Copies of this chain bind each other. A is one copy, B any other.
Amino acid sequence: MVSALRLPSLTSLLYPNLVRRYPAALRRRHSIRPLLASGFSAQSAASSPPDTVDRVDNQKSRVQDRVNSDQVITPRSQDFNAWYLDVIANAELADYGPVRGTMVIRPYGYAIWEAIQEYLNVKFKETGHSNMYFPQFIPYSFIEKEASHVEGFSPELALVTIGGGKELEEKLVVRPTSETIVNHMFTQWIHSYRDLPLMINQWANVTRWEMRTKPFVRTLEFLWQEGHTAHATLEEAEKEALQMIDVYTKFAYEQAAIPVIAGRKSKVETFAGATKTYTIEAMMGDRKALQAGTSHNLGQNFSRAFGTQFTDEIGQRQHVWQTSWAISTRFVGGIIMAHGDDAGLMLPPKVAPIQVVIVPIWKKEDDKTGVLNAASSVMEVLKTAGLKVKLDNSDQRTPGWKFNFWEMKGVPLRIEIGPRDVSSESVVISRRDVPGKQGKVFGISMDSSILVPYVKEKLDDIQSSLLQRAISFRDSNIVDVSSYEELKTAISSGKWARGPWSASDADELKVKEETGATIRCFPFEQPQGSKTCLLTGNPAEEVAIFAKSY
């Protein structure tokens, strides 16, 4: 594999440590591959085209510092799955755990999850929910109480059968979701209409014994938040379920820059135990759909199974109406797959663990102190302004290597500071989302009154540019279809198909079997006019979106 390292001799001479440390990254890459659950193919790193980084300072004196990158990422355009796994390994987002299908979320990946948490946690509180915590062990008998729930979840349960050295009398389920235990507790807390609505949320781990796993997207254990609410009326529960899918939709658009399509699941795809499931569906870079968040109107299914009742204003006992809603670490996978490119990750500034990376550049030892001091003070200025900044002042790596590395890590903005920048008290700023010279601006003053607003504006630009790009991509890959033939053509060309649908559940399953596509949702936004079911020709009330999905 060392032959993949095509380092120009100048760089090797100046930065001998580069070669010394590199094999570690390769080993990591190899260590992750054999652990794959299913056969994602690996591309040879040597087949990747060398990347080029130009460094031109603002005094017009050109310093050519061409560096072949340590390219270990399979190009996305070549093999999407291999690219995804390479990005996760190389950007140090996650690693495989020792138990099949489990995942270790590494600091850089976890920081993206923290950004998701910070935003949603505030929104949940603003909309009247309180955080709390339920035990993860659920008596097996609880799961059996709601008929469709047990049917949906029993194949994927992890069961604790031994505790404290003894065989347990009743097996314990490691929670796959918490509706059952939540209802068990709600029966103790809800007595009258004055105890309603009861609106809570928990941040927790859940376990589902999935057979085909993929980091972030589908793992045996994952992290999520699950909201659970109880209401006096169906209308209130419906309003809550819709409110929460709306919170998720706003998060997706405004923070993650993912233009999800929000809508209602078909009966076939509805959550085990819900009367209605709302969903946000995201288009990934390979045009497969990712269910990125769901909100369920549970009706009285669980309250009837558990006897969760309240006394209403006229003294009658009633079953509560409930909702539940969740977003998980799967969303991190969605962010990776929605925005990345051949060079690696591309993170929207609002969820990026590092928004700005500063790369100091010096050749002569004499220049080092001045450059590093300037870089430090720029870092302080930006940090004080509330930005997430990393100064990469290591002298183990060339600037070119650092450029590639931080691009691969998806950092939205790079600031370069060399000796001439120090003299002119200015910096060079490069955007991750605009490659090469077009994304590079010279001579931005280091003065905080100029630099800070400039950087903030650029980050905002990148945020909206990523969203706009994703919207264009999405819209150019959704085809309106009016017949099953058109649907099949759209799906087989990798696109999403949108068409009127009023056929049966059996027909829906037939479409899945024949095309691999499922109904992702009946979108909230519906076209005007009368509609005819694409399959049966019968009148249809709504269009559905069909797609292959993760």
Residues on A lying within 8 angstroms of B by beta carbon are 21, 24, 27-28, 31, 95, 97-99, 102-107, 109-111, 113-114, 130-139, 142, 154-165, 171-172, 174, 181, 184-185, 188-189, 191-192, 194-195, 200, 204-205, 207, 209, 211, 220-221, 223, 396
Q: Is the beta-carbon distance between B135 and A107 smaller than 8 angstroms?
A: no
Q: Is the beta-carbon distance between A98 and B138 smaller than 8 angstroms?
A: yes
- Pick the contact of A163: B95, B98, B158, B205 (CB < 8 A): B158
Kindly provide the distance from the CB of A101 to the nearest chain B CB, expressed in whole angstroms.
9
Majority-rule SS of A interface residues: mixed
Q: Is the beta-carbon distance between A132 and B106 smaller than 8 angstroms?
A: yes
Having A157-B164, A162-B171, one finds 19 other A-B pairs with CB under 8 Å, namely A21-B194, A28-B189, A97-B135, A98-B139, A98-B184, A102-B137, A105-B133, A106-B132, A107-B131, A107-B200, A110-B131, A111-B131, A113-B133, A135-B221, A155-B165, A157-B162, A161-B162, A194-B396, A204-B205
Chain B residues near A223 (CB-CB < 8 A): 133
Q: Is the beta-carbon distance between A130 and B155 smaller than 8 angstroms?
A: no
In this complex, what residue of B is CB-closest to A106? B132
Q: Given contacts A184-B98, A188-B31, A209-B164, are A104 and B159 in contact (CB under 8 A)? A: no
Question: Once the chains are docked, how many angstroms separate the CA of A133 from the CA of B107?
Answer: 8
Query: What 3 pairs between A and B have smallest CB-CB spacing?
Result: A164-B209, A107-B130, A102-B135
Question: Once the chains are docked, how many angstroms separate the CA of A193 from the CA of B332?
Answer: 31
Q: Is the beta-carbon distance between B104 and A164 smaller than 8 angstroms?
A: no
- Pick the contact of A136: B27, B181, B221 (CB < 8 A): B221
What is the oligomeric copy number?
2
Chain B residues near A184 (CB-CB < 8 A): 98
Q: Is the beta-carbon distance between A132 and B161 smaller than 8 angstroms?
A: no
Q: Is the beta-carbon distance between B160 and A133 smaller than 8 angstroms?
A: no
In this complex, what residue of B is CB-closest to A139? B98
Question: Once the chains are docked, how many angstroms separate the CA of A211 from the CA of B166?
Answer: 12
Question: Once the chains are docked, how many angstroms separate the CA of A204 from the CA of B136?
Answer: 12
Chain B residues near A107 (CB-CB < 8 A): 130-132, 200
Q: Is the beta-carbon distance between B164 and A211 smaller than 8 angstroms?
A: yes
In this complex, what residue of B is CB-closest to A162? B159
Residue of A113, A135, A137, A185 with most chain B CB atoms under a 10 A cut-off? A135
Chain B residues near A195 (CB-CB < 8 A): 24
Question: Once the chains are docked, how many angstroms separate the CA of A550 from the CA of B159?
Answer: 31
Question: Once the chains are docked, how many angstroms separate the CA of A172 from the CA of B221?
Answer: 13
Kindly provide the distance from the CB of A331 to the nearest chain B CB, expressed in whole angstroms.
14
Chain B residues near A106 (CB-CB < 8 A): 132
Question: Once the chains are docked, how many angstroms separate the CA of A99 from the CA of B130?
Answer: 23
In this complex, what residue of B is CB-closest to A17? B194
Kindly provide the distance from the CB of A158 to the nearest chain B CB, expressed in whole angstroms.
5
